[in-house]
Amino acid sequence: MNEVIRTHELTKAVKGKTIVSDVNLHVKRGEIYGLLGPNGAGKTTMMKMLTGLIIPTSGEIMLFGKKLTEASKDGLKRVGSIIEYPIFFEHLTAMQNLRIHCEYLGFYDHKAITQALDMVGLQGIDDKKVKDFSLGMKQRLGIVRAMITKPELIVLDEPTNGLDPIGIKEMRDLIRMLNKEYGITFLLSSHILGEIEQVADRIGVIQHGKLVNEVALADIRKLRTNYIELVTSNVQKSVYLLETELHLSNMKIVQDKKIRIYNTGASPSEISKMLVSHDIEIEEIQKHTSTLEDYFYHQIQGGVSGE
Ligand SMILES: Nc1ncnc2c1ncn2[C@@H]1O[C@H](COP(=O)(O)OP(=O)(O)OP(=O)(O)O)[C@@H](O)[C@H]1O
């Protein structure tokens, strides 16, 4: 079974308002899948349905190839999750919190707790109460708690929200390590492309409750193109000269005064030298590479920021 999650037309409506609409999501075993979308797009609602916290209005969820229903929640035993913020008993230590969690699950294995603490670098904090933890440590402890039952899939809702840059990097490294060393599949959500692109293998873009696209980051990177952008008031004559003098053919006029020249062997200085020698006035000339932001911007027409 290569697919850990597959949904078919998954939909959630609350009080007549559709929050998640006909989503067909596919998460493959062993990958880090990033669900990317602006605030309010429906990411948390998706994750709540996938982890059995809320019931879909319609559609289907397959977890590890088995249908998730009210009557059959077997697949959830193989899933760990943190949805929204991890909540702890603040006046207790990490170990005490984890013991209570294990007792609640009816699963007590002291070794599994210490192993999980070691794995995320939280060893040696036995006496420290959770109220004295940084947000980054709380997030790590949340992951320990999600990992105790040795899940094959971990679902994390905005795991870097509120963390400082060092905390963000540590969280990213931890997710990567757990994925590579222990083969854990991850489903993460974020509203920041710059963050998710550094950790995810594949991205699903969600907006207004709809999954706009699912794409492997490696495939988008292959689509990146280089181009030179030229601004001049004499567009027609410039195009003619570029074709006849430099034998460039792959270009388009993108605005009144702007020409984009794609896959060119010529450099901006060669182009400007040639045009100037024909009395063309150049207002601006610059080399560009299309970015991931460009790609996603076109996907959702400006709804996701690359901040
Ligand atoms: N129980 C509910 N009742 C009414 N509206 C809800 C409910 N749950 C979510 N919503 C609305 O549905 C939309 C999607 O919410 P959701 O929390 O899933 O989005 P999100 O992508 O996770 O955004 P955020 O990052 O801001 O949490 C929002 O407009 C939210 O206000």
Backbone angles phi, psi at 162, to 5 degrees: 85, -5
Q: Which of 10, 19, 55, 212 to mutate to test the pocket of ligand 1 (most atoms within 8 A of CB)?
A: 19
Choose the residue to mutate in 12, 43, 160 for probing ligand 1, maximizing ligand atoms within 8 Å of C-beta: 43
From the CA of 46, how far away is ligand 1's center (Å)?
Answer: 10
**CATH number 3.30.70.100 given to 225-289:** yes
Q: How far apart are CA 248 and CA 115, in angstroms?
A: 62
Residue 296: burial class (beta carbons within 10 Å; 0-12, 13-18, 19+):
buried
- 12 Rama class: left (phi>0) / alpha (psi -120 to 50) / beta: beta
Contact 126, 168 (CB under 8 A): no
Beta bridge partners of 262: 227
Q: Which atom of ligand 1 is nearest to the CA of 48?
A: 18
Q: Do domains 3-221 and 225-289 have the same CATH topology?
A: no
What is the identity of the amino acid at 127? D
SS3 of the chain: the string is: CCEEEEEEEEEEEECCEEEEEEECCEEECCCEEEEECCCCCCHHHHHHHHCCCCCCCEEEEEECCEECCCCCCHHHHHEEEECCCCCCCCCCEHHHHHHHHHHHHCCCCHHHHHHHHHHCCCCCCCCCEHHHCCHHHHHHHHHHHHHCCCCCEEEECCCCCCCCHHHHHHHHHHHHHHHHHHCCEEEEEECCHHHHCCCCCEEEEEECCEEEEEEEHHHHHHHCCEEEEEEECCHHHHHHHHHHHHCCCCEEEEECCEEEEECCCCCHHHHHHHHHHCCCCEEEEEEEECCHHHHHHHHHCCCCCCC
Q: At what angle do helices 268-277 and 235-246 cross, to 10 degrees?
A: 110
The residue contributing the CA closest to ligand 1 atom 31 is 40
Q: How far apart are CA 60 and CA 274, in angstroms?
A: 61
45 CA to centre of ligand 1 in angstroms: 6
What is the CB < 6 Å shell around ligand 1? Answer: 14, 19, 37, 39-45, 191
CA of 240 to the centre of ligand 1 (A): 53
By most ligand atoms within 8 Å of CB, the mutation choice from 45, 161, 205, 212 for ligand 1 is 45
Q: pLDDT tens digits, the chain, 307 residues: what are they?
A: 689 999 999 999 999 999 999 999 999 999 999 999 988 999 999 999 999 999 999 999 999 999 999 888 888 989 999 998 788 999 999 888 988 888 887 776 778 888 888 877 777 776 789 999 988 888 889 988 888 888 999 999 999 888 888 888 888 998 999 999 989 999 999 998 888 989 999 999 999 999 998 999 888 877 777 889 999 989 999 999 999 999 998 888 988 899 999 866 789 999 999 999 999 999 999 998 777 777 777 776 544 333 3
The amino acid that residue 126 corresponds to is D
Structurally, what CATH architecture does the domain formed by 3-221 represent?
Answer: 3-Layer(aba) Sandwich (3.40)
Q: What is the pLDDT of residues 87-117, one digit of tens each?
A: 899 999 988 898 888 888 777 677 888 888 8
Task: Compute the distance from residue 41 Cα to the ligand 1 centre, in Å.
Answer: 7
Nearest CA to ligand 1 atom 25: 39
Name the residue with the closest Cα to ligand 1, atom 12. Answer: 19
Question: Nearest 5°: phi and psi at 242?
Answer: -60, -40
Tell me which amino acid residue 146 is: A
- Domain ranges for the chain: 3-221, 225-289
How large is the angle between the packed helices 110-119 and 94-105, nearest 10 degrees?
A: 130
Distance 206 CA to ligand 1 centre (A): 13
Residue with CA at minimum distance from ligand 1 atom 29: 40
Which residue CA neighbors atom 10 of ligand 1 most closely? 19
Return the best residue to mutate from 12, 44, 53 for the ligand 1 pocket (most ligand atoms within 8 A of CB): 44
